[in-house]
Amino acid sequence: MDSELFELRRSGVGGSDVSAILGLNPWRGPFDVWLEKTGEVDQFGENPAMMRGRLFEPAIANWYSEVTEQAIEPGELIRRDEWMIANPDFFVLSDGGRDFGLEIKTARSARKWGDGGTDDVPVYYAMQCHWYMACTGMPRWDLAVYLTSFDEFRRYVLPRDEAIVSALTERVGQWWERHVIGGERPPIQNASTAANSWLQETFSANNGEVRDASSDEAELAEQLRVLKDKIKELSTAKKDIETTLKAAIGESRGLSGDFGRILWSSSNGSARVDVKRLKAEQPEIYAEFLLAGTPTRTFRANFSE
């Protein structure tokens, strides 16, 4: 994303921000959006999933246009009021001009995707489409997705719902006023890379004090203890099932079915440096290539039995 477009998107709430603000996005949360809009973090780079979507977008759009026999044109950034912005992928055209919008997606699995022709799409994508309808006033938004694991295209139709549009505008507007205009930092409730990076940078050092926990903090600590016990139990169960499946796979490479594929692949292993021996036998070389560490803080939770 170029710096000019990034600054424009930072000046308001866009379609991909809405589900995060509402706590419906599995990858981002309200705190991540706040970091971006207030300039607390720099522009994020493009991850592999984002690159896949960008590269596949023209082909999926061409598929949609061909199967629907409707012309499309690329969208552009649209601003409604001072803080509502949309950056649609495409618009679907009729003789009278732009008829409705079109969003393009890729997905590795069909989980959370319903039958084509319905509006049964993952909630975070549905919120994005409804937000675009709120910003543009359009009566409908289509979504075309390419499911890579199945080599399958699907088309979905989301009609405008005034109740959803009104609720989104109100709730997201209140969030914007309170946290961006008002400057109130939202709670940190998601373990995103951005949130953890901000915490490490903001609280890079400690004062050495171990203080008494408040009642709320003690409750969170107890929740963490319970979760750690459950994770341990689930990890043991997972290993048991994996061992049973390995025995079932035997000399085969793996298994396949409606669940997907489970592989037990072979490899020659990867070479690694014996750091302990290098340090003992070649201390000068070890010291020459030793990099200075970056100050960081480590989180540990030790619970009483």
pLDDT class of 83 with cuts at 50, 70, 90: very high
Averaged pLDDT score across all residues of the chain:
90
pLDDT class of 34 with cuts at 50, 70, 90: very high
Is residue 2 pLDDT above 70, yes or no?
no
Q: Write the pLDDT tens digit of every residue in 99-122.
A: 999 999 999 889 899 999 999 999
For tokens 């592999």, what's the residue? 48
Range in 13-17, 30-34, 143-147, 201-205 with the lowest mean pLDDT: 201-205
- Which domains are delineated in the chain? 3-198 (3.90.320.10), 215-265+272-288 (no CATH)
Across the range 175-203, mean pLDDT stands at 88
Range in 48-57, 132-141, 190-199, 245-254 with the lowest mean pLDDT: 190-199
Whether 232 and 225 have beta carbons less than 8 Å apart is answered as no
pLDDT value at residue 160? 97
SS3 of the chain: CCHHHHHHHHCCECHHHHHHHCCCCCCCCHHHHHHHHCCCCCCCCCCHHHHHHHHHHHHHHHHHHHHHCCCEEECCCEEECCCEEECCCEEEEECCEEEEEEEEEEECCCCCCCCCCCCCCCHHHHHHHHHHHHHHCCCEEEEEEEECCCCEEEEEEEECCHHHHHHHHHHHHHHHHHHHHCCCCCCCCCCCHHHHHHHHHHCCCCCCCCCCCCHHHHHHHHHHHHHHHHHHHHHHHHHHHHHHHHHHHCCCCEEEECCEEEECCCCCCCCCCCHHHHHHHCHHHHHHCCCCCCCCCCCCCCCCC
pLDDT value at residue 21? 96
pLDDT value at residue 42? 64
Across the range 60-66, mean pLDDT stands at 97
The structure tokens listed for 271 are: 């070479």
pLDDT class of 5 with cuts at 50, 70, 90: low
Distances (CA, A) of 52 to 25, 56, 147, 212: 19, 6, 12, 48
Q: Which amino acid is at 215?
A: S
Q: Write the pLDDT tens digit of every residue in 168-184.
A: 999 999 999 999 999 99
| Nearest Cα residue to 20 out of 9, 29, 12, 8 | 29
Of the two residues 49 and 239, the one the predictor is more confident about is 239
Is residue 144 pLDDT above 90, yes or no?
yes
Q: What is the value of pTM for the model shown?
A: 0.76
